Structure 1
Amino acid sequence: MSRFLQLHLLTFYPPSNVNRDDAGNPKTAVVGGVTRQRISSQSLKRAWRSSDIFKNALEDHMGVRTQRFGREIQQHLLQKGVEETKAIEIARKIASVYGKVKAEKDKDPTAIDQLAFISPKEREAAFAFAERMLSDAKIDPMKEKETLLCKADTAADIGLFGRMFASDPSWNREAAAQVAHAITTHRVTPEDDFYTAIDDLKKTEEDTGAGFIGDAGFGSGVFYLYLCVNRHLFKENLGSQEEGESGIMSAALGALVEAAATVSPSGKQNSFAALARAGYILAEKGDQQPRTLAGSFVKPVIGEDLMKDSITALKKFRSELTRVYGPGYTEDCELELGNKESKTLAEIVKFCCA
């Protein structure tokens, strides 16, 4: 099995604002001296792992990222008939393994200050540990972290995207997937949409004004996205798998590729319906040092067909990298809309999982 899987995608988004900054405008970045529209890697990963594609492919092999795990432990004990004060006490002690717990006087005293990424196996272990504490008050979960936490298990999304425990880095899990921020291959000047909302019950004789006015930023363009998966690390993160579970890695890689090609972040989708599909996908496998092809677009693409010109620029830059540094891959597979010789998404997925 080759070590690295690299994906390069070009996706056209119509007028939209799928990923906003703190002022509500599309995120941007200055690249090559000009402003580009940007979609953050955090936004993309959140959209992928919360998609139906991931859920259907990886049922029972998905972690939960939450501050409310202590509440789940508390509810589990209450369902067992445990008195509420005792349930809260135990839940707080176990929740402290995953991060600093809120003050006892807080409205949710079992909540964790940080978001903790918890696998299904760890969830089951926490419930079992809580039941043990009912019969043995001397048990200290902080001294038995190895019972509650895993350094490898079959939580595919944790294996791909990693996790961090600020309070105890020894239980961190390094991400097998590196995901870049997507940027437009060309200059983009975000625009403002001025809009009004009308009060349906207001009569025309009252006044002719709107019930509400506002503005929303948007932009459009062809985005380049790069991601790389260290398949050896991903296999290590998944740990030793039981017979019948050996397909988890393949299912996760297939879900990742399909989601990257077809799933858009949810920002302002009700207003813009920017449900995009990749127009070009280049998948590469090999043991060579990975490299992004973002350098294809240091000089912004200019032309009447931004997608076609972006593909041309990417291929030209890749060829030059190969000439100078040698090939950055052993095998490759391409999907290109409008090219009858192109592979299908199903073929790209099959290539990436092999």
Structure 2
Amino acid sequence: MTIDAATRYLSLHSLTTFAHVLLVRDDAGEPKTSTYGDAERVILSPQSQRRADRIHLRDEANLGTGPLAAHAWGVRTREWAVRVAEALRDEHGWEAQAALEMARTSLRGVGLNFGSTPNTAFLTKVMVFAPEKTGSTLAQIIQEHRPELEAWATAVADAATAAAEAKSKGKKKGKGKAAATADEAMDGEADSPEAEGEASAREEKVAPMPARIKSRLICGLAPADAIDIALYGRFLAEVASAGNVDGAIQTTTALSVEPASIVRDFFSAADDFKIARQRVGTDFTDALARLNAAAPFDAAAPEASDGYALDDRGAGMTGHQNFFNGTFYAHSVLDRVQLRRNLINGGMSPEDAERAAQDAELALVTAFVNAVPSAKKNTTAAPGTLPKLVLAHVGPRPYNYAAVFEKAIHRHEGVPSLIAAERLLEHHAMITRKQHVDPGTVLSYDIATTKYLDGLRDAGNLGPTEVDHPAELSPYCPAGQPA
């Protein structure tokens, strides 16, 4: 399929109703909110949505069920030095500590900075998004240039030692004369600017990493054919020449179409031993036998506690957590031209890039429909939620419909999700008429919304084509032929 100016952008819109969830939190653990239009709204950050989509894409690929199963992926982590060291050890027989030190020194040589505490000494200060095979790729380059890199690493270490000694001597200037004299005698030389200058000169004489090796290592960090880097992009300020990628996906902050509805939920947790004692009304120190008994009196009563009394009153612990309810408008855009450009720049042929781009688009629309941030999933089951309405359409530019909900929908007006669907589709009908764009496709997982769509269709007012499967939202999957 040819991507021309009129079909460059695929705009995706959804309305999803969540009940009693906490999909994203601020630094205080509270739901994120923002005042928009005439009311305060609950919001879902773009980062949480994008991560949910990316994890869904990869999980589907790992299961071999998605269109991207055969494609390479990226990994975003601070642990690349550890991964390179593992490859040096396992694939090239290096001693573990020597591998760690060489991996860190080599990555420093290309411009990456590391933490300064014992726990972060081998972690880069920023996360680096690179192809999943980067650890092995960089290890192979280091192995091929081992003698030269070891000599360079030794020079770097010597320079660092000299600089540390010079700095230590500089601190002695503030001491008294007697103490300074004693220190000088202990060091065997006078504390002088000449000594500091000599140390600095030694440090400055250390050559940077050999250019040809540095160039190869930077190429090893390049995005290559990682499909998620082509989709979401990356920015690596510390190593600009490593190949920054403009993402092909735009994501807006999802917002509730109604005023913020936050519930302060009080909870109590039971202590199993305390409950076991409460069942028989006796203060026992060892209630395990009664806890495991089929009936409260099936087990013999243990001896009473000796020297202290156990309190059987109340719950084991109590607390509170805020949750929210509401229907959220979410919006993402795929720049179909940028995606192909990223894939070609990563080394794909135009033919391979076209196939990969089509696979990525089919997978993306499926993730947009199905992916939900997983925070508090065990106590909310939020990932099981499906959207009530999804709208997809192509055009010469992105179309963000968030302004449709500048006026919040209040409950006395009716069901917020249904009113939101009416507003969204009416606005889209106006845009398609005035901008002369294709009306696209629409998908619903809600009975009331489906009946509303049926009414529009019967009246001849339903512009988008209704589909039954997420992949059909993409122009690459004709209606009636689910991927």
Per the normalisation by structure 2, the TM-score is 0.67
**Equivalent of 1:305, from 400, 415, 418?**
415
1:64 to 1:180, Cα distance in 2 relative to 1, 3 A: same
In structure 2, what residue type is equivalent to 1:306?
Answer: P
In structure 1, what residue type is equivalent to 2:389?
Answer: Y
- Residue 22 of structure 1 is matched in structure 2 by 27
- Residue 299 of structure 2 is matched in structure 1 by none
The alignment status of 1:209 with 2:280, answered yes or no, reads: no
- Residue 199 of structure 1 is matched in structure 2 by 271
1:352 to 1:214, Cα distance in 2 relative to 1, 3 A: farther
Q: Distance in 2 between matches of 1:123 and 1:163?
A: 18
- Residue 170 of structure 2 is matched in structure 1 by none
Q: Distance in 2 between matches of 1:110 and 1:176?
A: 32
Q: Distance in 1 between matches of 2:341 and 2:376?
A: 38
Report which stretch shifted further, 304-313 or 161-170: 161-170
For residues 186-335 of structure 1, the aligned pairs below 5 Å read: 186-202=258-274, 203-204=277-278, 205=283, 206-239=311-344, 240-241=347-348, 246-274=354-382, 275-286=384-395, 288-302=396-410, 303-322=413-432, 326-327=435-436, 329-330=437-438, 332-335=440-443
- Shift of residue 336, structure 1, vs aligned partner: 2.6
Is the 2:41–2:257 Cα contact (8 Å) retained in structure 1?
yes
- Shift of residue 144, structure 1, vs aligned partner: 3.8
Is the 2:84–2:136 Cα contact (8 Å) retained in structure 1?
no
1:197 to 1:120, Cα distance in 2 relative to 1, 3 A: closer
- Shift of residue 95, structure 1, vs aligned partner: 2.7
- Residue 93 of structure 2 is matched in structure 1 by 81
Higher helix share: 2
- Shift of residue 224, structure 1, vs aligned partner: 0.5
Q: Distance in 1 between matches of 2:111 and 2:367?
A: 29
The superposition leaves residues 329-349 of structure 1 with CA deviations (integer Å, 9 ceiling, x where unpaired) of: 335111133336731124534
In structure 1, what residue type is equivalent to 2:323?
Answer: F
In structure 2, what residue type is equivalent to 1:185?
Answer: V
In structure 1, what residue type is equivalent to 2:226?
Answer: A
1:352 to 1:334, Cα distance in 2 relative to 1, 3 A: farther
Is the 2:53–2:371 Cα contact (8 Å) retained in structure 1?
yes
The alignment status of 1:53 with 2:60, answered yes or no, reads: yes
The alignment status of 1:154 with 2:259, answered yes or no, reads: no
1:147 to 1:188, Cα distance in 2 relative to 1, 3 A: closer
Q: Distance in 2 between matches of 1:75 and 1:349?
A: 43
Unaligned runs of at least 5 residues, structure 2: 153-208, 284-310, 458-465, 479-483
- Residue 100 of structure 1 is matched in structure 2 by 113
- Shift of residue 307, structure 1, vs aligned partner: 1.6
The alignment status of 1:185 with 2:290, answered yes or no, reads: no
Q: Distance in 2 between matches of 1:108 and 1:39?
A: 30
1:352 to 1:98, Cα distance in 2 relative to 1, 3 A: farther
1:282 to 1:4, Cα distance in 2 relative to 1, 3 A: same
Is the 1:18–1:268 Cα contact (8 Å) retained in structure 2?
yes
- Shift of residue 247, structure 1, vs aligned partner: 2.9
- Shift of residue 322, structure 1, vs aligned partner: 4.8
Q: Distance in 1 between matches of 2:142 and 2:474?
A: 43
- Shift of residue 133, structure 1, vs aligned partner: 2.7
Q: Distance in 2 between matches of 1:81 and 1:279?
A: 55
Q: Distance in 1 between matches of 2:269 and 2:428?
A: 49
Is the 1:18–1:267 Cα contact (8 Å) retained in structure 2?
yes
**How big is the alpha-carbon RMSD for the aligned residues of Structure 1 and Structure 2?**
2.4
Higher strand share: 1
1:65 to 1:101, Cα distance in 2 relative to 1, 3 A: same
Report which stretch shifted further, 252-261 or 55-64: 55-64
Is the 1:159–1:175 Cα contact (8 Å) retained in structure 2?
yes
Q: Distance in 2 between matches of 1:210 and 1:149?
A: 53
- Shift of residue 157, structure 1, vs aligned partner: 1.0
Q: Distance in 1 between matches of 2:221 and 2:87?
A: 19
- Shift of residue 77, structure 1, vs aligned partner: 1.2
- Shift of residue 169, structure 1, vs aligned partner: 3.1
For residues 93-172 of structure 1, the aligned pairs below 5 Å read: 93-96=105-108, 97=110, 99-103=112-116, 106-107=118-119, 109-120=121-132, 122-137=134-149, 140=210, 141-150=213-222, 153-170=224-241, 171-172=243-244
Give secondary structure in 1 for the equivalent of 2:85: helix
Give secondary structure in 2 for the equivalent of 1:208: coil
Rg: which structure is higher?
2
- Shift of residue 168, structure 1, vs aligned partner: 2.9
Give secondary structure in 1 for the equivalent of 2:49: helix
Is the 1:54–1:252 Cα contact (8 Å) retained in structure 2?
no
The superposition leaves residues 148-190 of structure 1 with CA deviations (integer Å, 9 ceiling, x where unpaired) of: 232x532111111111112133421111100111111111221
1:289 to 1:130, Cα distance in 2 relative to 1, 3 A: same
Percent identity over paired residues: 27
Q: Distance in 1 between matches of 2:330 and 2:61?
A: 19
Q: How many residues align?
A: 349
Give secondary structure in 1 for the equivalent of 2:389: strand
- Shift of residue 146, structure 1, vs aligned partner: 4.5
Give secondary structure in 1 for the equivalent of 2:27: coil
**Equivalent of 2:49, from 44, 47, 61?**
44
